């Protein structure tokens, strides 16, 4: 459950960074003050946020390739950041099982958007996971 809260915090930091043009470090400090986490979970949040932001262009490109009749900038900001976060985990965090990342992303989408967003996130990430696995063979 701690990692779920950490992912939620990472989502909030990413959202604040994108929508409010907040500095990443300031957003991180604000969110982790509002939601106290053990140090290991704070490090997990920081790793997720920094990694997602560092690879944002690549993640956006991959996500965009799987959007049918949509542009990424038209996807709700919360959903867009959930997709980025989960895809970062799937591609770059070997210690997190991909299906866990997808399930967590679906739950975040349902909590921060709606049921339909959960299905949307599931469809996009499922296709991306299949592509990622096939690409590694």
Question: Mean pLDDT in each 10-residue stretch from start to end of the chain (137 residues)?
Answer: 88 92 89 91 96 96 90 93 97 93 96 94 94 61
Residue 137 has a pLDDT of 40
Residue 42 has a pLDDT of 94
Ordered by start, the domain boundaries in the chain are 2-136
Report the alpha-carbon distance of residue 137 to residue 135 in Å, rounded.
Answer: 6
Residue 132, CB half-sphere, CA atoms under 13 Å: how many? 21
Residue 80 has a pLDDT of 97
pTM of the predicted structure, to 2 decimals: 0.92
Phi (first) and psi of residue 70, to 5 degrees:
-140, 155
Residue 79 has a pLDDT of 96
117-131 CB burial, b ≥16 within 10 A, e <16: bbebbeebbeebbee
CATH topology for 2-136? N-utilizing Substance Protein B Homolog; Chain A (1.10.940)
């Amino acid at each position: 459950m701690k990692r779920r809260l950490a992912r939620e915090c990472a989502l909030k930091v990413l959202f604040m960074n994108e929508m409010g043009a907040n500095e990443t470090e300031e957003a991180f400090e604000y969110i982790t003050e509002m939601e106290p986490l053990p140090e290991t979970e704070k490090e997990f949040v920081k790793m997720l946020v920094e990694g997602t932001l560092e690879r944002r262009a690549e993640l956006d490109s991959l996500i965009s390739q799987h959007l049918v009749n949509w542009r990424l900038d038209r996807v709700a900001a919360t959903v867009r950041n959930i997709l980025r976060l989960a895809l970062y985990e799937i591609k770059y965090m070997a210690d997190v099982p991909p299906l866990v990342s997808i399930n967590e992303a679906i739950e975040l989408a349902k909590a921060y958007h709606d049921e339909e967003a959960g299905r949307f996130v599931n469809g996009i990430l499922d296709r991306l996971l299949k592509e990622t696995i096939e690409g590694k063979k």
